[in-house]
Amino acid sequence: MNIREEIIKMEKALLDPEVRRSAKKVRQFLSADFREVGASGTCFGLKEVIQSISSQTDWVAIPDLWEFRQLSDDVAQLMYRVKIVRGEAGEVAHSQRSSIWRKEVDTWKLVYHQGTMVGLLESKP
């Protein structure tokens, strides 16, 4: 598996409700110095994200339009969009996401993530 495929696979795992319910599983993917900028513009650290992520289980995330950039031998950026379907009512939201992954020893860890709520995005030509 190449780096692009490996990182996309890990990013998809972080969108999986089963992974999100387990702080232990989430920690496997996040760096100790992880930071996130949420849709509200608020910055969160590792502890806050792990606490909040486990309660976000009443939704399904459908990612697409992956764009991968290798920034250096041990740093990569992944950009993509996500359609989120919430609850029984099926409320839909869309976000554009960007993640920065860093190679730590022998595994890739997520060090930064930002999600920005957007309207329905058109497919890239």
CATH (domain of 49):
3.10.450.50
Q: Is residue 67 part of a domain?
A: yes
Give the per-residue pLDDT at 121. 54
Give the per-residue pLDDT at 10. 97
For residue 123, report the phi and psi dihedrals to the nearest 5 degrees.
-65, 145
The contacts of residue 102 (CB under 8 Å, 6+ apart) are 31, 74, 75, 108, 109, 111
Residues 92, 118: contact at Cβ < 8 Å?
no
> Does the pTM exceed 0.75?
yes
Q: Is residue 123 part of a domain?
A: no
Residues 49, 101: contact at Cβ < 8 Å?
no
Q: Is the dihedral of CA 40, 43, 47, 50 positive or negative?
A: positive
Q: Is residue 124 part of a domain?
A: no
Is residue 125 predicted with pLDDT exceeding 70? Answer: no
Is residue 58 predicted with pLDDT exceeding 90? Answer: no
pLDDT in tens, 74-115: 999 999 999 989 887 888 989 999 999 999 999 999 999 999
Q: Average pLDDT for residues 66-76, to the nearest whole number?
A: 97
